[in-house]
Every structure is written in C-alpha cells, then in structure tokens.
Amino acid sequence: MNPTPADRPAFRPEPPDLLAGRGIALGVSGSIAAYKALALTSGLVQAGARVDVILTQAATELLRPLAFQALTHRPVVGDLWAPGSELAMDHLAIAQRAELLLVAPATADRLSRLALGLAGDALDTTALASTAPLVLAPAMEPNMWAHPAIQAHVASLTARGAHFVGPWEGRLASGKLGLGRMAEPETILDHLRWLLARQGDLAGRSILITAGPTREPLDPLRFLSNRSTGSMGFALARVARDRGARVTLIHGPVAQDAPVGVATVPVERALDMQAAVLDLAPACDALIMSAAVADYRPAAPSERKIKKQPGDLRLELSRNPDILGSLAEALAEGSGPPPYRVGFAAETEDLETNGRAKLQRKGLDLVVANRVPASFGAGEHEVLLLTPDASEALQGASKLAVAAAILDRVSQALGASPGTGTDVSVPRSERA
C-alpha cells in the first residue's frame, strides 16, 4: 500500500499541565522551610491549579497569610475560629473540594497530629474530613526525623496511603547537614502530577525510552560524544508518565532530572545502552529510541591517560552496534510479541525519503524525522511522523507537543486502554 502523503503541516499545542484546573489544598505548618511554600504556591498557581492555603498558627508566626493570598487570589485560612472565615462557616468546605491535600512543610508536630487523627485546628480537621490523597513533605532536624516516635507515625501514615516526598539530605536551617530538608518545590509539584496521572490512555502500559548522548571513552579522562541534551526523551518520559504509563528511561549523561515516577537507568557507552535495551525491551509494550547513540567508539580505549606526543594523533574507531536495527533479531528469539518500535532520524533534507528508508531498514513501526539543525535543542520543531501507511507533518511544535503526537501513535497502535475493555494488568508482551 502506498503511504498517504503528509497533509499541510499541523500546529500542535502542548499537552496541558496535569495540575491545570485541579483543586489542591496546601497546608503549611511552622517550619522555617515554610518560605519554600510560597514558591510551591506560586508554582501551583502558574500550573493552573485552584489552591486553598491553610496556615497553622505556627506558620503564621513565620509568614503572613497575605503573602499566600496575593499569590492565590483566594482567601487563606489561618484561624479556624476567625469570624467570617470560610471554615468557621463550613469546616468541611476545603476538604470537600480538594482533589489532593498537600502538607508542605510537614513538621514533626504536624506529622504526629495527622498520624494520631487529632482535630485541633483547620489543617487537622481538613485532613480528617478529606478523602483526597494526602501528600507530605516533611522538614525537621535529622534527629527528630530519625526518632522512633516520628518513624512510627511515618509508618502509620504510609500504611494509610499517605505519600511522602522527602525529606532530603542536605543543609538545614540550623547549619547542620543531614536528612531533614524539605524537598524542592519543583519536585513536590511533579510528585502531585504523578499522583494525578494514573488514569490516562496509556495506563497499564510499559514504555521504554532512551535519551541523551552516549560517551565513548578514549582514556580515563576523555571521551567522544555529541551535543544531545536528552530533552526530547525526557519530554517523552514526562508525557508518557502523565498519560499513565509505567516509564523506564535509559539515558546517557545529561544535565536534567527525570520526571517523578519514571524509573531511570543511567548509562555511558553505546554498548551499555544496548545491554540495557536488550534487557528491558522484551517486557515493554513500546520502545522509543530518542537517544543520539554514537555510531563509532575508539577502537582501543587506553586504561591510562594518553600523554601528548610530538606530531599528530590518529584515532582508530570501531562501529558501534545499531541498537534499534539489531533489536528485531534479538527479540525474535523471545516468546512474546515484539514491542512497538519508534526510531528518530535527524535529517538536513529529504525528510520523507530518508525517514522512510530508515523505517524499512530498521524494521520500525514509526520514524520521527526531524529537520536539523533547526530542531537541535530549539523550542520549535519541524517533524514528520512516518508509519508504513501514513505521514503526519508537524511544524512549530514544542518538544512536549511532539512527544504527545508520538504517544498518540503509540497509544493507537497498542489499542484500547483500561476501562475500554482490554485487560492491561498484564504487560502486552506477556499476553497471548
């Protein structure tokens, strides 16, 4: 069958932030880390969430309610008994509309109160009355966090389904180093997205993504590599996670953190990436190879630093294996059906012809042909999505938008998602 030619390039908007339009109750208790709750509130509002802030009495000693009100443009609850406050009239109001209840920072006192189910103030009563998932970002001195009483409360809250984000190791307000720092606002926000993500069209699917460059060592200090930032693969991981998939990201050396909830396998050389892909691909539903794998590696990396000599230095390079290209053969030996396979093609011209050649040569289900150098690290991409029987052109799309378009194809190919009739509790590769 002749493939349908690409229509006019479509503009594709970014997928919405999962926090947009969601009701988040943010309880702030009295740790000096409460200053980070302002950044957290701002991040929630910028993501489009509807934020109800509840400050404990101790928190109001550190920060004024007005600061939170200015960020949320909504009343802030401090005192449960203040005449005219929403909770004085209806003390369940916030509990009922919250889709998530986040307590950040959560002090030792607050964790203990929540674990015991006390009902002494607005945050206590909201937590008791809410059926929304509870997310806690503790902040306290390391000795307090390690205390058996607090650890028993953490265990009891965890057993009841509470999600802990942190605490982290690091420098504390006291000047000490240890485990007790509140997690950073960006991480907490991403944790909330992960909790909200469970119900997408890729729920129950297992998706393996590769990202970033590989590093091919010359000696213990030097290597050959490329300029890939890994951003495309990280965008894919985020969108797949947001749509409910279980995501594993095999990545070369990059300067970014994986989205919360995404399992990571850091690698250096193409050979390491190949081993990780071969290990994990048989159990996944889809493999998306966005990594910029080095095609060559130094033939004989030196175990010692190569010292300079008079004159030129000639390097001999060996071909690296083609990870995607060799996969069909490797998977054919396994029992289950092969995963849906997506490759990338960076092209300066003839996107369609070159992309289609790659689709065939590597036996892929989808090739994402990028025009370079325009797409290299840039915010706007010119991309062709090529399947054996169709082409889709995208222009001016961000990485997140391109990722969403790729995952639409993956989702269509994998078929119905949970709730529409197909049992996806077992990975596709294990189903008959």
Q: Which residue of the set 143, 226, 320, 354 is catalytic?
A: 226
Among residues 295, 352, 380, 408, which is the contact residue for ligand CTP, using CB under 6 A? 295
Residue 233 binding ligand CTP, by CB under 6 A: no
Both structure tokens of 279: 């290990």
Residue 345 binding ligand CTP, by CB under 6 A: yes
Residues binding ligand CTP: number (CB under 6 A): 14
Sequence-separated (6 or more) residues with CB below 8 Å from residue 122: 54, 56, 77, 78, 79, 80, 87, 91
Residue 18 binding ligand CTP, by CB under 6 A: no
CB of 156 to ligand CTP, least distance (A): 46
Residue 428 binding ligand CTP, by CB under 6 A: no
Q: Which is nearer to ligand CTP, 289 or 414 (CB)?
A: 289
Both structure tokens of 269: 């050389």
Q: Which is nearer to ligand CTP, 165 or 250 (CB)?
A: 250
> Among residues 191, 195, 197, which one has the least CA distance to residue 243?
197
Neighbours of 97 (CB within 10 A): 14
Q: Which is nearer to ligand CTP, 31 or 320 (CB)?
A: 320
Residues pairing with 370 in the sheet: 346, 383
Among residues 80, 260, 284, 291, which is the contact residue for ligand CTP, using CB under 6 A? 291
CB of 291 to ligand CTP, least distance (A): 5
The piece of 46-54, 286-294, 303-311, 382-390 that touches ligand CTP (CB under 6 A) is 286-294
Amino acid letter, 122: A
Distances from the Cα of 267 to the Cα of 234, 316, 318, 339, angstroms: 15, 23, 19, 22
Interface characters, 305-344, with ligand CTP (x: CB under 6 A): ---------------x-xxx------------------xx
Q: For residue 226, indicate whether it is catalytic.
A: yes
Residue 251 binding ligand CTP, by CB under 6 A: no
- Using the structure block, give the residue that is written with the tokens 């840039």: 378
Q: Which is nearer to ligand CTP, 111 or 287 (CB)?
A: 287
Per-residue b or e along 36-48, where b marks 16 or more CB atoms closer than 10 Å to that residue's CB? bbbebbbbbbebe
Interface characters, 57-76, with ligand CTP (x: CB under 6 A): --------------------
Neighbours of 136 (CB within 10 A): 25
Both structure tokens of 386: 């090529």
Neighbours of 327 (CB within 10 A): 25
Report the C-alpha gap between 176 and 239 in whole angstroms.
38
Report the C-alpha gap between 242 and 8 in whole angstroms.
29
Report the residue closest to ligand CTP, judged by CB.
323
Q: Which is nearer to ligand CTP, 122 or 383 (CB)?
A: 383
Residue 228 binding ligand CTP, by CB under 6 A: no
Contact in structure between 290 and 211 (CB atoms under 8 Å)? yes
Among residues 34, 103, 196, 293, which is the contact residue for ligand CTP, using CB under 6 A? 293
CB of 232 to ligand CTP, least distance (A): 10
CB of 306 to ligand CTP, least distance (A): 25
Sequence-separated (6 or more) residues with CB below 8 Å from residue 314: none
CB of 394 to ligand CTP, least distance (A): 17
Sequence-separated (6 or more) residues with CB below 8 Å from residue 117: 128
Q: Which is nearer to ligand CTP, 190 or 347 (CB)?
A: 347
CB of 235 to ligand CTP, least distance (A): 15
Contact in structure between 333 and 319 (CB atoms under 8 Å)? no
CB of 102 to ligand CTP, least distance (A): 38
Both structure tokens of 385: 């999505």
The piece of 79-87, 288-296, 381-389, 403-411 that touches ligand CTP (CB under 6 A) is 288-296
Residue 270 binding ligand CTP, by CB under 6 A: yes
Report the C-alpha gap between 138 and 180 in whole angstroms.
7
CB of 289 to ligand CTP, least distance (A): 4
> Which residues in 346-385 contact ligand CTP (CB under 6 A)?
346, 358
Paired sense of beta strands 23-28 and 296-298, if any:
unpaired
Residue 265 binding ligand CTP, by CB under 6 A: no
Report the C-alpha gap between 226 and 253 in whole angstroms.
11
Q: Where do contacts with ligand CTP occur on this chain (CB under 6 A)?
A: 270, 289, 291, 293, 295, 320, 322-324, 343-346, 358
Residues acting as catalytic residues: 226
